[in-house]
Amino acid sequence: MRKNLFILLTGILALVGGVCFLISGANGEKSKPTVTEQICQTSQVQKPRVLTKSDMEYFIMTEINGILRSQLVMGELPYVEINERFKSSNKLVVGRTGKNVNVTLVANYHWAHKGVEAAEGCSSDGTVACLELYIPAIMNTFERLRDSGNPEWRKVFQSHVIVIFMHEMEHARIASPSDHIDISEESRAWDDTCRYVIDPMVEIYGLPLFKTEDGLYRAWKIANGNTKDPVWVNAVQNIYGKIDGLTTKK
């Protein structure tokens, strides 16, 4: 999901105090991301889930950092195609803005809906790209999967985290600041997510998918990658139809 974070927040300093890591190593060189060990709060949120700071820090440490910070952003996932897509996407961002994507782990729900787990945005002049992961929403998904009885639930969760992160990187590949939820942009970004991320995950590595991504991927396959096909249009509409056009503007 895309939103203009810097219309919501008062400049880059509003991100200070977040569990933030900068994707270091422009043009693909490896270097350790910078991390500050706190939880950040955004200004416009849904009613927050009752979680302690230690709850979220433990979850981030045990379930998020290993996938994203230690593997994906370092180009060390065991999935070559996804590593290459991440490198390509980040290189585009660096080439456009001169900076790596700033990733923030947020302690609140997204302003539009509690089911939103991630969002990408940029400054109005396109000079900063930022990706937010909404920890309470991601924890809800984790707990539903853990309690589902599916013996592969952890693999499903890990693939889900990779997909939602890489979906936001697909948004970050283009410079189109927006202050509202745009279903056409979601369709474009999910089309590329299916093509460059989910397809190799399933067809090459046989990874199990979370139900949302599984539904979108099935629709994408039926539609043969045609975003005008009614099957694809309906699949995207089912997810974003109720929040399409929502804006942070008063």
Amino acid code (one letter) for 76: E
Task: Express each pLDDT in 75-95 by its tens digit.
Answer: 999 999 999 999 999 999 999
Amino acid code (one letter) for 169: M
> With contact defined as beta carbons under 8 Å apart, do 209 and 201 qualify?
yes
Question: For tokens 């996938």, what's the residue?
Answer: 67
Q: Which two tokens stand for residue 249?
A: 């503007």
Question: For tokens 């693939």, what's the residue?
Answer: 159
The CA distance from 210 to 140, in Å, is 13
Write down the mean pLDDT value for the chain.
Answer: 81
Give exposure, 78-95, as e/b (b: 16+ Cβ within 10 Å). ebebbbebbbebbebbbe
Q: Which two tokens stand for residue 71?
A: 């593997």
- With cut-offs at 50, 70 and 90, classify the pLDDT of residue 12: very low
Residue 14 has pLDDT above 70, yes or no: no
Task: Express each pLDDT in 89-143 by its tens digit.
Answer: 999 999 988 888 888 888 999 989 999 999 998 766 667 788 999 999 999 999 9
Looking at per-residue pLDDT, the higher value among 22 and 21 belongs to 21
